[in-house]
Amino acid sequence: MTNKKVFACKRILIVGATGALGSAIAKTLSLQGAELFLAGRDVSKLELIASELDATAISIDLSKIDSFDAAIDKISALDGIVYAAGVAPLSPVKYMQEKHLSNCIQINTVSPLLLIRDLLRQKKIKTPASIVLISSLIASRGAAGYCAYAASKGALEASARCMALELASHKIRVNCLAPGMIESQMASEAGEQISEDILQAHMNLYPLGTGYPQDVADAATYLISDQSRWVTGTVLTVDGGYRAK
C-alpha cells in the first residue's frame, strides 16, 4: 500500500503532527501522495516536519478555542482529518489537581469536538470525507493513575459514535483508533513517573510485543482511506493482542 499514491489529490489535516503518532501518520500519508496540513503548537518542530514533507504548517494552541478560526482560515477543503494531539497526566485520584483534569479533557475531548464543529460550519470538510480520532486502549481498560486520561478518551469515543450517526448522511465517516502502550514520547514520559520494572511488566502483557508509531500510522491510513468506506462509528483497537487475554 505504501508504494501506491492512494492519497493523490487528497487533502488531510493532522492535528498533533509533532508528536510521535502524528508525525508517523504524516510521513505515511505523505509517501502516499496526500497534500498535508500539519497543526501543532511547537512551531519550530512543526515547520521542520512540514518542510520535510512539503506540507503546510499551521500553528494552533488547542487550549485556546479562540485560536481556531485563524488556523482554519489557512486550511483548504479537506478529505480527511486525523486528531492525534493528546495529554496523559499520571496521578492517583487522591492527588489529582483540577487544572490537570481540566486541561486533559480540554485537549483530548473538547478541542477536537469544537475544531470539527468549526470546520463543518466553515464548509472545510468535503463529502465524502473521513475523520479519525486517536483514542486509547485505556478508554475501555482500567489503569491506576490514569482517571483523567481515561475519562477524556472514553468521552471522545462516545462522542465519535454520535458524530458518525449525525454525519453519515453527508458521507463523512468518524472513527476512533485505540492504541495500547506505544514506543513513543508519551510512553517515555510515563516511564519517568513509574518504575522501570512496572513499565516493563505492563509491556510484557502484549502478546505481539512492543508497538511502534508506524503500527498506528498504518491503521490510521486504513481508516482515512476509501478502503474503509463502509466503516464508521467504530473503534479500531491496535494493541498487539492485549485485549484478547
Look up residue 228 and give its amino acid.
Answer: S
- Per-residue pLDDT, averaged over 175-188, amounts to 80
In the numeric block, which cell numbers belong to residue 227? 478502503
So what's the pLDDT on residue 205? 81
- Angle formed at CA 181 by CA 39 and CA 1, multiple of 5 degrees: 60
CA dist., res. 233 & res. 117, Å (int): 17
CA dist., res. 119 & res. 104, Å (int): 22
Strand order in the sheet with 235-238: 56-59, 35-40, 11-15, 78-83, 125-134, 172-179, 235-238
Q: What is the pLDDT of residues 6-61, one digit of tens each?
A: 899 999 999 999 999 999 999 999 999 999 999 999 999 999 999 999 999 999 99
Confirm if 220 and 82 have CB atoms less than 8 A apart. Answer: yes
pTM for the full model?
0.92
So what's the pLDDT on residue 190? 54
CA dist., res. 133 & res. 2, Å (int): 22
- Per-residue pLDDT, averaged over 69-92, amounts to 95
Could you tell me the residue ranges of all domains in the chain?
A: 11-237
CA dist., res. 1 & res. 124, Å (int): 27
Which of residues 45 and 195 earns the better pLDDT score?
45
> CATH for 11-237, among 2.10.109.10, 3.10.450.40, 3.40.50.300, 3.40.50.720?
3.40.50.720
- Per-residue pLDDT, averaged over 142-157, amounts to 94
- Per-residue pLDDT, averaged over 193-215, amounts to 77
Confirm if 79 and 10 have CB atoms less than 8 A apart. Answer: yes
So what's the pLDDT on residue 239? 94
Nearest-CA neighbor of 164 among 76, 221, 228? 228
So what's the pLDDT on residue 2? 46
